[in-house]
Amino acid sequence: MKAKKNLGQNFLIDEKVIMDISNAINVGEDDLIIEIGPGMGALTKYLKMKNVPLVCYEIDPDLRPYLNKLEDTNTKIIYQDILLSNIVDDIKDIHYNNLYIVGNLPYYITTPIIKHLIALNIKIKEMIFMVQDEVADRFTALPKSSEYGSITLYLKYYFQVTKLFKVSKKSFEPVPKVESAIIKFVARDNKPNINKELYFKLINDAFRMKRKTLKNNLKDYDLTLLEDFFHRNNLNDTIRAEALDENMFLELYNSLCKRVP
Ligand code: SAM
């Protein structure tokens, strides 16, 4: 089958990489796996060996000839755009303990997919995704690095994100233009107790113009409170957002956004 570029179809052909991804998913016997974009089933066939219910979302019905033979009572393929899926409804009759979401993602919608999954508000235990290597670096960046940004902090609010290993372009057919990496998201059970909408707005505002100072990016906030924050934390008021780790951002949130009821 001719791969469809517009659907991000780069199929995995390196059996060792496929096994490494599968081995990174440690499900228990009562767990459930969701796979995004099974393609021709390269990873699906290993996921099936875990003997737990498996639900896959594939947008391209032309892949049916490959995927039909993988369907059985435990494995269901839903031909639908993952961004339009209502996973909550689709899995409501499955009894499971923990939910794992896996996929060699279509790179053109990596972040929308993750945001869609978060917005569904389902309890996810872990997510293991193949993403573009550069994106993996942004998702897992440390403060003071050029990759660190609002998306890093947004994801960190929900998950502990780690890059597991890089994957060479040669592991795919057709060969993509970019390098790839496997990342793992583990749900955090100590999420900060804050108004997350206000917090996400604050981090977006703080990183709006990366070259500008934090003070400049936050000029619509209360300047006195911001200066108090700098003073209390011994910070120079010329610092940029990238200098602050999550704890500092939470401190900044408490200084600028927290409302006393
Ligand atoms: N898992 C296969 C593999 O590793 O060989 C295929 C991975 S390929 C990078 C991405 C897959 O996601 C393709 O099968 C593509 O058709 C599918 N896809 C693209 N956009 C999608 C969407 N919005 N919803 C569900 N699947 C999508």
Q: How far is residue 18's CA from residue 12's CA, in Å, rounded to a whole number?
A: 7
- pLDDT confidence of residue 260: 42
- pLDDT confidence of residue 90: 97
Q: What residue spans in the chain does CATH classification 3.40.50.150 cover?
A: 5-187
Q: Which fold has domain 196-256?
A: Helicase, Ruva Protein; domain 3 (1.10.8)
Q: Is 9 in the pocket of ligand 1 (CB under 6 A)?
A: yes
More confident residue, 12 or 190: 12
Q: Is 172 in the pocket of ligand 1 (CB under 6 A)?
A: no
Q: Is 7 in the pocket of ligand 1 (CB under 6 A)?
A: yes
Q: Which residues contact 222 (CB under 8 A, 6 or more apart)?
A: 256
- pLDDT confidence of residue 259: 56
On average, the pLDDT of the chain sits at 96
Torsion angles phi and psi, residue 65, rounded to 5: -55, -30
Per-residue confidence at 28, pLDDT binned at 50, 70, 90? very high
- pLDDT confidence of residue 100: 98
Ligand 1 atom nearest the C-alpha of 11 is 5
The answer to whether the pTM exceeds 0.85 is: yes
pLDDT per residue as tens digits for the range 63-92: 999 999 999 999 999 999 999 999 999 999
Q: Is 104 in the pocket of ligand 1 (CB under 6 A)?
A: yes
Residue 258 has pLDDT above 90, yes or no: no
- Ligand 1 centroid to residue 116 C-alpha, Å: 16
Per the document, the length of the chain is 261
- Helix ranges restricted to H, 5-109: 15-23, 44-48, 64-67, 87-90
* Of 60, 85, 171, best ligand 1 pocket probe by most atoms within 8 Å of the beta carbon: 60
- Ligand 1 centroid to residue 120 C-alpha, Å: 20
Residue with CA nearest ligand 1 atom 20: 7
Q: How far is residue 208's CA from residue 224's CA, in Å, rounded to a whole number?
A: 21
Q: Is 18 in the pocket of ligand 1 (CB under 6 A)?
A: no
* Matching residue, tokens 């934390």: 233
Q: What residue spans in the chain does CATH classification 1.10.8.100 cover?
A: 196-256
Residue with CA nearest ligand 1 atom 8: 9
- Ligand 1 centroid to residue 31 C-alpha, Å: 23
Structure tokens that stand for 107 in this block: 């790179």
Q: Is 43 in the pocket of ligand 1 (CB under 6 A)?
A: yes
Indicate the pairing of strand 126-132 with strand 180-187.
antiparallel
Per-residue confidence at 1, pLDDT binned at 50, 70, 90? confident
Q: Is 12 in the pocket of ligand 1 (CB under 6 A)?
A: yes
Q: How far is residue 2's CA from residue 9's CA, in Å, rounded to a whole number?
A: 9
Q: How far is residue 95's CA from residue 30's CA, in Å, rounded to a whole number?
A: 8
DSSP 258: P
Residue with CA nearest ligand 1 atom 22: 81
More confident residue, 169 or 1: 169
* Of 33, 35, 59, best ligand 1 pocket probe by most atoms within 8 Å of the beta carbon: 59
Torsion angles phi and psi, residue 55, rounded to 5: -120, 125
- Ligand 1 centroid to residue 194 C-alpha, Å: 35
Superfamily name with CATH number, domain 5-187: Vaccinia Virus protein VP39 (3.40.50.150)
Per-residue confidence at 261, pLDDT binned at 50, 70, 90? very low
Q: How far is residue 116's CA from residue 96's CA, in Å, rounded to a whole number?
A: 21
Residue with CA nearest ligand 1 atom 19: 7
Per-residue confidence at 202, pLDDT binned at 50, 70, 90? very high
